[in-house]
A = this chain, B = another copy of it.
């Protein structure tokens, strides 16, 4: 289905969420050990099926039946990069979309170089990162402080340029999320400051992008849908956690992703077509 206005876009987002639940896409994640459990549980919460594997020896075999491949550079090792390249090339050969999360690009040359190498050698569907990570990936000077982003409210033009440069959808998350394929851009205004109070919400958002790309080849729509779901769930969980704290927020975030219906998604989406 095509979408030309916000209403059509929201209809498509609801349809895509229902399709994830119907198709249960298998999402292979080569990822870090800090948030791996959260990323697997997020794929399950939205309705997909996660698989995780890191050894080069099985990278190609594991990705082959998958609906999507997610490459996440957290707690990266040199060996891991080789497995990512092997899995990514196999995914490219089979037409399986590849989503990259360049965690910590700009914070070390290992991360920056690896992100660049993957973006160069693998045809990507979506890159999801924060402002400073994407800036590093673009070859611009970046000051990634640990794994946090310097917020940049003017990142829309930059994201567009990077999308053209990489030939893929760029999903830049922050106070406002920007999703763009270089021609069309969507601004997602869902989310809550609470999402920065627990670890891994960026990784989890990328895992959701993976699940959505597993059922649609409109990757702009898929990425925007995933970020909107994460944002709405974050808003709801923030309400539950206000009187409780970080542990409750985390638990409720999974609750709300798992319970969100397509009609709630359409109602709650604060999305603008630029």
- A residues near B (Cβ < 8 Å) are 26, 28, 32-38, 40-41, 44-45, 49-55, 57-58, 61-62, 65-66, 74-78, 104, 107-111, 145-148, 197-200, 244-248, 250-259
Q: Report the separation of the CA atoms of residues A52 and B44 in the bound assembly, to the nearest whole angstrom.
A: 25
B146 touches A197 (CB 8 A): no
Q: Are B52 and A74 in contact (CB under 8 A)?
A: yes
Chain B residues with CB under 8 Å of A251's CB are: 247-248, 250-251
User: Which of B49, B78, B198 makes the CB contact (< 8 A) with A57?
Assistant: B78
Assess the B200–A50 pair: CB atoms within 8 A: no
A54's contact among B75, B145, B252, by CB below 8 Å, is which?
B75
Given known contacts A33-B36, A34-B37, A41-B198, A107 and B51 CB-to-CB distance under 8 angstroms:
yes
Residue among A109, A198, A199, A253 with max Cβ neighbours from chain B (10 Å): A199
Cβ A51 vs Cβ B254 within 8 A: no
Give chain B residues whose Cβ lies under 8 Å from the Cβ of A255: 244-248
A245 to B50, CA, bound (A): 18
Complex Cα–Cα for A247 and B109 (A): 36
Task: Specify which of B58, B75, B198 is in contact with A111 (CB 8 Å cutoff).
Answer: B58
A74 contact set on B, CB distance < 8 A:
52
Give the copy number.
3
CA distance A45 to B194 in the complex (A): 11
CB pair B148–A49 under 8 Å, yes or no, is yes
Given A49-B146, A245-B259; 6 other pairs, CB 8 A cutoff: A26-B145, A45-B197, A53-B76, A58-B76, A245-B258, A250-B251
- The 9 residue pairs across chains A and B that have the minimum distance between CB atoms: A245-B255, A247-B254, A51-B146, A58-B108, A247-B251, A33-B33, A40-B199, A246-B258, A245-B258
Determine how close the nearest CB of chain B comes to the CB of A252; give it in whole angstroms: 6
Closest to A66 in B: B146
Alpha-carbon separation in the docked complex, A54 to B75 (Å) = 6
What are the residues of chain B within 8 A of A111 when measuring CB–CB?
58
The residue in chain B whose Cβ has the minimal distance to the Cβ of A28 is B146
Known: A28-B146, A38-B37, A146-B65. A254 touches B250 (CB 8 A): yes
Question: Does A246 lie within 8 Å of B250, measured CB to CB?
Answer: no
